[in-house]
Amino acid sequence: MPKVFESNGYKFFFYSNEGNPRERCHIHARKAGNEAKFWMTPYISLADSWGFSGNKDLIEEKWNEYFR
């Protein structure tokens, strides 16, 4: 698993066995046992997430409080 870089406790890497046919360019990020996958093209976007809390309820609550 080639490591690309580390930042703020996140390890950014790709797997050496990315499948056949290979998927388009992407990067994995891991911290504290949680992992996310980001597509790099055509623009950076979240492909999938395992274990990270999205904090959906908290975000919606704060959004609604602010914009009321």
Non-local (6+) Cβ contacts of 24 within 8 A are: 39, 40, 41
pLDDT of residue 62: 96
The answer to whether 33 touches 51, Cβ cutoff 8 Å, is yes
User: How far is residue 1 CA from its own chain's centroid?
Assistant: 16
Tally the domains of the chain. 1
- Boundaries of domain holding 52: 3-66
What does pTM read for this prediction? Answer: 0.78
pLDDT string in tens for the chain (68-residue length): 899 999 999 999 999 888 788 899 999 999 999 999 999 999 999 999 999 888 889 999 999 999 98
pLDDT of residue 18: 80
What order do you get walking across the sheet with 3-7 strand by strand? 3-7, 10-13, 26-31, 34-39, 45-50
Q: For residue 19, how many C-alpha atoms fall within 13 Å in the half-sphere facing its CB?
A: 7
